[in-house]
A = this chain, B = another copy of it.
Amino acid sequence: MAGSVNRQVTLGARPVNYPRESDFILVESPVPEPDEGEVLVQTIWLSLDPYIRGRMRTVHAYATPMELGQVIVGGVVGRIIRSRTPAFSEGEIVEGSLGWQEYAVSDGSGLRRVDLELGPLSTALGVLGMPGMTAYFGFLEVGQPRTGDTVVVSAASGAVGQVVGQISRIMGCRTIGVAGSPAKIDYIINELGFDAGINYKTENVSDSLGAACPLGIDVYFDNVGGEVTDAVFDHLNLGARISLCGSISQYNQDEPEPGPRKMGLLVGRQAKAEGFLVSQFRDRHDEGRRRIATWMREGKIKYKEDVVEGLENAPRAFMGLMQGENFGKLLIKVSDE
Q: Which residues of A contact B (CB under 8 A)?
A: 54, 61-62, 225-226, 229, 244-247, 250, 255-277, 280
CB distance from A276 to the nearest CB of B (A): 6
Contact assessment for B274 and A272 in the assembled complex, using a CB-CB cutoff below 8 Å? yes
Give the residues in chain B near A277, CB-CB below 8 Å. 267-268, 270
Which of A255, A265, A267 has the most CB atoms of chain B within a 10 A radius of its CB?
Answer: A267
Contact assessment for A275 and B266 in the assembled complex, using a CB-CB cutoff below 8 Å? yes
- 15 A-B residue pairings within 8 Å (CB atoms): A61-B265, A62-B268, A225-B261, A225-B264, A226-B261, A229-B263, A244-B264, A244-B266, A250-B264, A259-B259, A263-B263, A266-B274, A266-B275, A271-B274, A273-B273
Give the residues in chain B near A229, CB-CB below 8 Å. 263
Give the residues in chain B near A265, CB-CB below 8 Å. 61, 275
Give the residues in chain B near A260, CB-CB below 8 Å. 255-259
Give the residues in chain B near A262, CB-CB below 8 Å. 256
Contact assessment for B267 and A62 in the assembled complex, using a CB-CB cutoff below 8 Å? yes
The one of B244, B259, B266 in contact with A261, judged by C-beta atoms closer than 8 angstroms, is: B259
Known contacts A272-B273, A272-B274; A256/B261 CB under 8 A: yes
* Closest residue of B by beta carbon distance from A256: B260
Contact assessment for B267 and A271 in the assembled complex, using a CB-CB cutoff below 8 Å? no
How many copies of this protein are present in the complex? 2
Give the residues in chain B near A54, CB-CB below 8 Å. 268
CB distance from A240 to the nearest CB of B (A): 10
CB distance from A223 to the nearest CB of B (A): 10
**Lowest 8 A-B CB distances belong to which pairs?**
A247-B264, A266-B275, A256-B260, A272-B274, A267-B275, A258-B258, A61-B268, A62-B268
Contact assessment for B244 and A250 in the assembled complex, using a CB-CB cutoff below 8 Å? no
CB distance from A265 to the nearest CB of B (A): 8
The one of B246, B257, B258, B266 in contact with A273, judged by C-beta atoms closer than 8 angstroms, is: B266
Tell me, in angstroms, the Cα distance from A268 to B280 when the chains sit together.
Answer: 11
Give the residues in chain B near A273, CB-CB below 8 Å. 263, 266, 272-274
Contact assessment for A264 and B246 in the assembled complex, using a CB-CB cutoff below 8 Å? yes
Tell me, in angstroms, the Cα distance from A269 to B54 when the chains sit together.
Answer: 13
Tell me, in angstroms, the Cα distance from A277 to B225 when the chains sit together.
Answer: 25
Contact assessment for A263 and B225 in the assembled complex, using a CB-CB cutoff below 8 Å? yes
Tell me, in angstroms, the Cα distance from A205 to B267 when the chains sit together.
Answer: 23
Contact assessment for A271 and B275 in the assembled complex, using a CB-CB cutoff below 8 Å? yes
* Closest residue of B by beta carbon distance from A226: B261
15 more CB-based (< 8 A) A-B contacts, given A256-B262, A269-B275, A273-B273: A54-B268, A61-B268, A244-B266, A247-B267, A250-B261, A258-B258, A258-B259, A258-B260, A259-B261, A265-B275, A267-B275, A267-B277, A268-B277, A270-B280, A274-B274
